Structure 1
Amino acid sequence: MSAWEAIAHEHVVAGDLPRQRRHRFYVGERRLPGQIRVGIWEATAYTERLVNYPKDEFMYVIEGSVTIVEEDGREETFGQGDSFFMPAGFTGLWRQDEAIKKYFMVFDAHDSGD
């Protein structure tokens, strides 16, 4: 896993100095218009406002949980053993009240650091 680093940007709306780290198992050759990355991501508790999410991402929760809150207020919580998909363009909240560790598979047009 990489070293812990701060999650610090204007869209973090809650969390006491949230931190993250990752390990990429696979980074595909850059293709037009995008790239595939597969790995593990881990983060401490925090809440982030996602605006026009820039990638399609499949996730499988290894530890912890996250609640996804859609713009219309509908929410769904995913915990250990659950998998879910976050489509590019999603706008809403990523709320995790505890640490989380997840597998991810991302396809996006821009390398966002996952």
Structure 2
Amino acid sequence: MTTHFPISYTTGSNWMTTLSPLLSHHHSLPAFAIPTRQLEYRAFFPAPMHNTHNRKNVITFSGVAIMTAKLLRIREGQGEREAGPVAPEKVLAGMPQQLTEHFFTNSKGNFFCGVWSSDAGKWTLTYSEDEFCYIIEGEAIITDAEGSSETVTAGDAFCIPAGFTGTWETIGSVKKFYAIYED
């Protein structure tokens, strides 16, 4: 029977110091550790087993690395930033610039979230994905293909479904939280 001793450490700690009591007692002990998304490590180290047939200490390894999921807070200034103009072929008015601050992509690569902003301008939209939006500040006018318009301002939450076509017009500037799901 193998006994496991869980040892947790973070990237700020020295795992060799943490493990020195085990290493000094067992000479060398392989570690199984993987980083999680929040850079926390979980490692499992098995205790030695005695082999009575040849009277040597035999170390068996059946340790399992564990990944833990953690809450991810979305704070401006801490995501991956990408800035640039709206694609010129889509622009109907102005010279709108946009800033996307991407915070999360799921393991399947089909869910994304972050903060997006733009300055004044109007451009066409064609959605192949579903998007949830929450306007943090500013104002925009979203118009569908039939000409029906909705004005969204700070505090408004809404969804734009896959298949939507129309226009987005930023009045002054606008900033929103976004969450996008793609099949």
TM-score (norm 1): 0.83
* Partner residue, 1:97: 171
SS in 1 for 2:172: coil
Distance 1:87 1:61 in 2: 17
Matches within 5 A, 1:22-101: 22-30=100-108, 35-51=110-126, 53-101=127-175
SS in 1 for 2:92: strand
Q: Which amino acid aligns with 1:28?
A: N
2:182 is the counterpart of 1:108: yes
How many residue pairs get matched? Answer: 104
* Partner residue, 1:7: 86
State percent identity of aligned pairs.
35
Cα displacement (A) at 1:97: 1.7
Q: Which amino acid aligns with 2:137?
A: E
TM-score (norm 2): 0.53
Cα displacement (A) at 1:82: 0.4
Q: Whose radius of gyration is greater, 1 or 2? A: 2
> Comparing both structures, which one devotes a greater share of its residues to helix?
2
RMSD over equivalenced CA pairs, Å: 1.5
For 1:2-47, what per-residue CA distance to the aligned partner results, in whole angstroms no more than 9, with x for missing partners? 25312223111111x211112122111235xxx0001000111111
Where structure 2 has 5 or more consecutive residues not aligned to the other structure, the ranges are 1-76
